């Protein structure tokens, strides 16, 4: 059987004028996971439109498309194209789970929720000649999942080829998050077994890892055992966690010892009433400053995530947030405009209040205002959002942030990391066009170690680092 798997891109990602580095960061892990369920004699290819031009003149038997909200229209276009050529089209992913009826008009089968139970069930039905129209995930476990087909990933096209997930979902419930809607009808947080996670890490070549888990620290026992197991592996890694988990004694220390060098932290807002409104209780009354201090003391850089446009936000929110982030010495910040994804609690609330402006999914990209904010005009929210990025990444702000650090190596790391992402975008564009994204990985690794200063956990591992940790896949 000929199988083609596609991750479609949103328009910005394939613009000939400007392709931000973020679209060349991570390979399509979800599709490579699903490919693991195919038979050895199936011919399978994965195409990621963010990094390569799609070949649309082929004739696969089965086409699998992963649909995010911002790439939904493109996904439907591709689905229609392949259906017209006689292929069987399977659509799944976050947006299909939110709006299965919309997706079903472009697909032979639609898949709701994570794929580990429904995808193999479909493959059996398909091979026997009686596939269903709709598959809905109910059994949630990662025990016994097949190996991810990393051999199908074109590693050289990505800055971070070693992305990995060792859990699904998150133990918390925030109104604006995709998570509850996606995991409806079953468990919404579960992990691999520690040994399986360590084996997957061991299979990855090189030093650098990026955990894409929503909340790697979400199950403290699992996380503790994982970090213990990673100690001495000589890895450098990045991940996401909550303020609450950073403040918990013990776990962060283990993480840093096993190679954690930068953490994405969802601060989201500095307003208590905003946190309450979004039911983000795990952030309530937490000392954000103490969390950042703890991370910095352990040599871990902070990528702070902030959302603008919640009901307590007025015109002052942008300057206040940026000023605060710079003073805290946060190395990188990711700003978002609040976006109500369909079927989330936030979306239902906005719909009930008649505040949704339109349903052009292309613009549900956290950079456009798609609802009526409470204390801001939509234009003011968009302008403020862009200004926040500009102000945070000004050279003067980068210097000011860097100067909160005590050592020269940490100051240098702050400047190199912050400037690397935002100040050299034309250079990134050239590297991406030359299809050399992965060649920049050693630079990233050097910066993450603070130019060699934060290497305590890999001392004594120097010998093994001369060789790749495992064979190149």
Q: What residues make contact with ligand SF4 under the rule CB under 6 A?
A: 170, 172-174, 177, 179, 214-215, 242, 266
* Cα–Cα dist 164/197, whole Å: 9
Pairing of strands 189-191, 167-169: antiparallel
CB of 343 to ligand B12, least distance (A): 9
> Under 8 Å CB-to-CB from 317, ≥6 apart: which residues?
271, 308, 384
Q: What is the DSSP pairing of strand 88-92 with strand 43-48? A: unpaired
Rounded to whole angstroms, the Cα distance separating 429 from 435 reads 10
Question: Measuring CA to CA, which residue among 382, 398, 226, 416 is closest to residue 309?
Answer: 382
List residues binding ligand B12 (CB under 6 A): 7, 9-10, 13, 22-23, 25-26, 28-30, 33-34, 64, 66, 68-71, 90, 92-95, 111, 114-116, 118-119, 165, 177-178, 212, 214, 341, 365-367
90 touches, from ligand B12, ligand SF4, none (C-beta below 5 to 8 Å by class): ligand B12
- Per DSSP, the three-state class of 197 is helix
User: Would you give the distance in Å from CA 23 to the centre of its chain?
Assistant: 11
CA-CA distance, 265 to 308, in Å (whole number)? 16
The least distance separating ligand SF4 from the CB of residue 449, rounded to whole angstroms, comes to 28
Q: Are 278 and 177 in contact (CB under 8 A)?
A: no
Q: Which is nearer to ligand B12, 178 or 217 (CB)?
A: 178
- CB 439 to ligand B12: min, Å: 19
Q: Quick one: what does residue 26 bind among ligand SF4, ligand B12, none, with the CB cut-off 5 to 8 Å set by partner type?
A: ligand B12
Extract the tokens encoding 426.
Answer: 């034309």
Nearer to ligand B12, 278 or 450 (CB): 278
Q: Which does 99 bind (CB under 5 to 8 A by kind): ligand B12, ligand SF4, none?
A: none
Query: 157 or 402: whose CB is closer to ligand B12?
Result: 157
Residue with Cβ nearer ligand B12 (156 or 327): 156
Alpha helices in 265-377 (DSSP H): 272-277, 288-297, 317-327, 345-352
Q: How far is the CB of 258 from ligand B12 (least distance, A)?
A: 21
Residue number, 25 or 194, with CB nearest to ligand B12: 25
Q: Which does 266 bind (CB under 5 to 8 A by kind): ligand B12, ligand SF4, none?
A: ligand SF4
Q: Which is nearer to ligand SF4, 173 or 419 (CB)?
A: 173
């Amino acid at each position: 059987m000929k199988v083609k798997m596609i991750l479609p891109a949103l328009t910005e990602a394939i613009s000939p004028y400007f392709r931000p580095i973020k679209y060349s960061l991570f390979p399509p892990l979800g599709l490579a996971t699903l490919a693991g369920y195919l038979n050895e004699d199936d011919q399978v290819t994965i195409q990621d439109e963010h990094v390569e031009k799609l070949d649309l003149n082929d004739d696969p038997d089965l086409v699998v498309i992963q649909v995010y909200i911002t790439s939904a229209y493109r996904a439907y276009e591709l689905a229609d194209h392949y259906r017209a050529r006689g292929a069987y089209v399977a659509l799944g992913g976050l947006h299909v789970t939110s709006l299965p009826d919309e997706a079903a008009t472009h697909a032979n089968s639609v898949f709701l929720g994570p794929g580990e139970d429904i995808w193999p069930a479909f493959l059996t039905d398909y091979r026997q000649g009686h596939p269903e129209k709709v598959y809905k995930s109910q059994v949630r476990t990662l025990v016994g999942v097949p190996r991810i087909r990393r051999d199908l990933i074109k590693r050289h096209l990505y800055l971070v080829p070693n992305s990995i997930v060792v859990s699904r979902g998150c133990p918390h419930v925030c109104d604006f998050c995709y998570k509850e809607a996606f995991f409806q009808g079953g468990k919404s947080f579960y992990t691999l077994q520690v040994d399986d996670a360590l084996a997957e890490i061991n299979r990855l070549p090189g030093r650098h890892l990026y955990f894409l888990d929503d909340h790697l620290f979400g199950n403290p026992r699992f996380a503790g055992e994982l970090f213990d197991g990673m100690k001495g592996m000589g890895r450098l890694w990045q991940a996401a966690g909550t303020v609450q988990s950073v403040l918990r004694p013990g776990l962060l220390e283990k993480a840093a010892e096993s190679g954690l060098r930068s953490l994405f932290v969802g601060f989201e807002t500095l307003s208590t009433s905003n946190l309450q409104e979004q039911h983000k209780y795990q952030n309530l009354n937490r000392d954000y400053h103490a969390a950042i201090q703890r991370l910095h003391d352990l040599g871990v850089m902070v990528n702070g995530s902030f959302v603008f446009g919640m009901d307590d936000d007025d015109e002052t929110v942008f300057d206040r947030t940026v000023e605060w982030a710079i003073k805290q010495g946060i190395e990188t910040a990711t700003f978002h405009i609040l976006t109500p994804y369909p079927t989330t609690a936030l979306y239902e609330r906005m719909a009930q209040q008649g505040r949704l402006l339109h349903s052009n999914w292309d613009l549900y990209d956290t950079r456009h205002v798609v609802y009526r904010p409470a204390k801001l005009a939509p234009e003011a929210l968009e302008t403020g959002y862009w200004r926040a990025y500009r102000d945070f990444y000004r050279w003067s702000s980068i210097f000011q942030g860097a100067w909160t650090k005590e050592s020269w190596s940490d100051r240098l790391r702050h400047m190199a990391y912050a400037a690397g992402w935002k100040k050299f975008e034309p250079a990134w564009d050239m590297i991406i066009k030359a299809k050399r994204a992965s060649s920049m990985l050693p630079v990233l690794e050097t910066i993450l170690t603070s130019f060699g200063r934060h290497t305590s956990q890999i001392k004594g591992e120097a010998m093994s680092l001369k060789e790749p940790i495992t064979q190149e896949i």
